[in-house]
């Protein structure tokens, strides 16, 4: 099963992000569950795109005004949700922010 781990935190989490994953990523690569991922630039650098009535509308900043913002994403492949929870709980960000686990949609291969 494929999952996206959305690494979230408030503005104070930025200080922790500079520490990286503290070896978590190395362990997950060794286990063979990492499929990709990346840290994100601060929400203030985001551009949000909407199309309404055929018109492209742009706004600066993130889509929603919340205290917590997505700071990164990890893509993992594991046996089930229980394993995904175990993996997410080991991520350093779980100790100062939140990690949202989302099952990824699968689409049939086109022929």
Q: Where are the domains of the chain?
A: 2-103
Task: Judge: domain 2-103, CATH 3.40.50.720.
Answer: no
The number of helix segments (H) and strand segments (E) in the chain equals 3, 6
SS3 at position 47: strand
**Closest Cα partner for 71 from 36, 47, 104, 98?**
98
Place of tokens 């499929």: 35
Q: pTM of the full predicted structure?
A: 0.81
Residue 20 binned pLDDT confidence (cut-offs 50, 70, 90): low
- Condensed to tens digits (0 to 9), the pLDDT of residues 37-90 reads 998 888 888 898 999 999 999 988 766 666 778 889 999 999 999 999 999 999
Residue 52 main-chain phi, psi, to 5 deg: -130, 125
- The Cα–Cα gap between 58 and 51 comes to 9
Provide the 10 A C-beta neighbour count for residue 101.
14
């Amino acid at each position: 099963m494929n999952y996206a781990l959305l690494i979230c935190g408030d503005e104070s989490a930025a200080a922790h992000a500079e520490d990286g994953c503290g070896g978590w990523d190395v362990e997950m690569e060794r286990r063979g569950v990492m499929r990709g991922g990346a840290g994100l630039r601060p929400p203030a650098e985001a551009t949000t795109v909407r199309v309404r009535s055929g018109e492209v509308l742009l706004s600066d900043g993130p889509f929603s005004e919340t205290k917590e913002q997505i700071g990164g994403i990890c893509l993992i492949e594991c046996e089930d949700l229980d394993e995904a929870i175990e993996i997410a709980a080991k991520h350093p960000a779980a100790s100062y922010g939140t990690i949202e686990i989302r099952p990824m949609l699968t689409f049939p291969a086109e022929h």
